[in-house]
Amino acid sequence: MRNKSLTQIFLWPTLIAIVSFTGLLTALLVDDARELISDAAVALPILSAAYYYWIKPGASAQKS
Amino acid sequence: MTQQSIRRWAWTHKWSSLVCTVFMLLLCLTGLPLIFSHEIHDWLGDHIVTPDIQHNGTMASMDSLVATAKKQNPGFVPLYMYRDDDEPLQWTISMAKTTDATSGFKYVVMDARTAKVLGEPPAEEGFMYIVFKLHVDLFAGLPGMLFLGLMGFLLVIAIISGVVLYAPFMRKLAFGEIRHQRGEKLKRLDIHNMLGIVTLSWFLVVGATGVINAWSDLLVKYWQFDQMSQMIAPYKNLPPPTQFASLQQSLEVAQKAEPAMQLGFIAFPGTAYTSQHHYGIFMRGDSPLTKRLFKPVLIDAQNATLTDSRPLPWYLVALLVSQPLHFGDYGGMSLKWIWAVLDVLSIIVLWTGLKLWWKKRRQYLPVASTRPILHKAIS
């Protein structure tokens, strides 16, 4: 792989950080069904970690 | 980034983490049961249930509740009166031998309708108490709290330096890539980097709000010095009252002063949240955010008249808003589970970080030619 630029390196981390942080704050402000959305935002780090640890390696191994 | 600045950031990351890691592991491990402390108390049978009775709807007077608590524990004085969100028909009065006691507390749980004692949950004992004390102050009081606050500050530095170092390590790797087949060392490094970067926001928020919480006792002391002293200035040289006015009447005066708010908790004269001369009636709002923001209404405890009421200063607002963000208790059960999983992920980040350092440290010793991981990443 060629050297990645800083933007490429930090694109996904920044997005995940912003979404999960927004989720943390909105969960503080809402108390109804919208809570599901904020919970999902807070859970995004868990989902992405699970994806990259278990699902992605299997998928790319099958491809090659 | 130049080689030299990378080396500086690596040094910062290594030492800020190394110093705090053991304590952070302890905080993450003790924090895990604390997320579910409510559920665990229920499960341990500490929870006191409200009896199902025929009742016409009028609540017992605050004065009879206080009288009942005093009768239950002769020689004890009331400190605070509060209730659980989940048990609106209960009032709890905490008591001790003196208003400035730091241990020897009793908690009298009463029926808000009948002023009957429902029970006294165990105080200062049991598994959850030990876990709580280890998490908050290591059984060392204020110095322990401040020490853990300092460790939390180092954690924040470790997280920030970790983010800076993320760049040189990821130059040739796709986001989230874990090199499963390239040996334990690289796999561990990739897991550390991936988990560290995705949990960044959460770990930073929980770490930073934990640091703010470590200052809570001092913030309250400062508030007393800063605002309380102004509010109670006219009482400065008066002797403490010997006769106390009706608490029920005082509460009604406070309610009239803040008609749009509802009672949060009451601080009895002499405790840290009020003066020797006042009932500190803390009113709160009703929305998810404002129900955490209290407004103190000071009522003269001798004649039940309003002395002063002013909104909390910014630093106590910051403290009160930061608390739920640390505890994770502001959503439903699902948020608690998310909190728990993120906590476990943080433990993995700490553990893999510690192990990376440990293995590298051994590697340095015998063969000088063995290149440390960092060089591999930046070459």
Long-range contacts of B139-146 (CB under 8 A, 24+ apart): B141/B102, B142/B217, B142/B218, B145/B214, B145/B216, B145/B217, B146/B214, B146/B215, B146/B218
pLDDT in tens, B297-320: 999 999 999 999 999 999 999 999
- Give dist(CA B356, CA B374) in Å, integer: 11
**What confidence score (pLDDT) does residue B186 get?**
92
Number of folded domains that form chain A: 1
Question: Are the CB atoms for B137 and B216 separated by under 8 Å?
Answer: no
CATH code of the domain made up of B219-327: 3.10.450.40
pLDDT in tens, B67-123: 999 999 999 999 999 998 888 899 999 999 999 898 899 999 999 999 999 999 888
**What confidence score (pLDDT) does residue B337 get?**
96
Identify the band that residue A60 occupies on the pLDDT scale cut at 50, 70 and 90. Answer: low
Per-residue pLDDT at B288 exceeds 90: no
Strand partners, B22: none
Whole-angstrom Cα Rg for chain B: 26
- Give dist(CA B95, CA B76) in Å, integer: 6
Euclidean distance between the first and the last CA atom of chain B, given in angstroms as a whole number: 12
In a domain, A3, yes or no: no
Per-residue pLDDT at B204 exceeds 60: yes
Question: Mean of the pLDDT values across residues B223-240?
Answer: 90
| Boundaries of domain holding A28 | 18-63
- Give dist(CA B326, CA B342) in Å, integer: 12
Task: Give the Cβ contact number of residue B107 at 10 Å.
Answer: 19
Residue of B193, B199, B201 to mutate, testing the A interface (most A Cβ within 10 Å of its Cβ): B201
The amino acid present at A49, given as its one-letter code, is A
The amino acid present at B187, given as its one-letter code, is K
- Higher-pLDDT residue of A3 and B204 is B204
- CB contacts under 8 A, B 321-340 vs A, are 321, 324-325, 330-332, 334-335, 338
Per the CB < 8 Å rule, is A45 touching B332? no
Which chain A residues are within 8 Å of B324, Cβ to Cβ?
A: 28
Per the CB < 8 Å rule, is B171 touching A3? yes
Residue B239 token pair: 């002797």
Which chain A residues are within 8 Å of B334, Cβ to Cβ?
A: 39
pLDDT in tens, B122-172: 888 889 999 999 999 999 999 999 999 999 999 999 999 999 999 999 998
What element of type H or E holds B256?
Answer: helix B247-257
The residues, ordered by sequence, that sit 6+ positions from B336 with a Cβ below 8 Å of its Cβ are B35, B36, B328, B329
Residue A42 token pair: 């807070």
Which chain A residues are within 8 Å of B160, Cβ to Cβ?
A: none
**What confidence score (pLDDT) does residue B375 get?**
56
**What confidence score (pLDDT) does residue A57 get?**
80
User: Which chain B residue has its CA at the smallest distance from A43's CA?
Assistant: B338
User: Over pLDDT 70: what percentage of chain B?
Assistant: 95
In the 8-state DSSP scheme, what is residue B338?
H
The amino acid present at A59, given as its one-letter code, is A
Residue B21 token pair: 């890691």
- Give dist(CA B371, CA B375) in Å, integer: 6
- Residue ranges per domain, chain B? 3-39+131-213+331-378, 59-121, 219-327
Of A9-23, B26-40, B48-62, B183-197, give the lowest mean pLDDT range.
Answer: B48-62
Residue A4 token pair: 């990645």
What element of type H or E holds B353?
Answer: helix B333-364
In a domain, A1, yes or no: no
In a domain, A10, yes or no: no
Per-residue pLDDT at B265 exceeds 90: yes
Taking the CA of residue A34 and the nearest CA in chain B, the distance in Å comes to 11
Which chain A residues are within 8 Å of B332, Cβ to Cβ?
A: 35, 39
- Give dist(CA B16, CA B159) in Å, integer: 9
Per-residue pLDDT at A58 exceeds 80: no
How many residues does the structure list for chain A? 64
- Give dist(CA B68, CA B277) in Å, integer: 22
Identify the band that residue B367 occupies on the pLDDT scale cut at 50, 70 and 90. Answer: very low
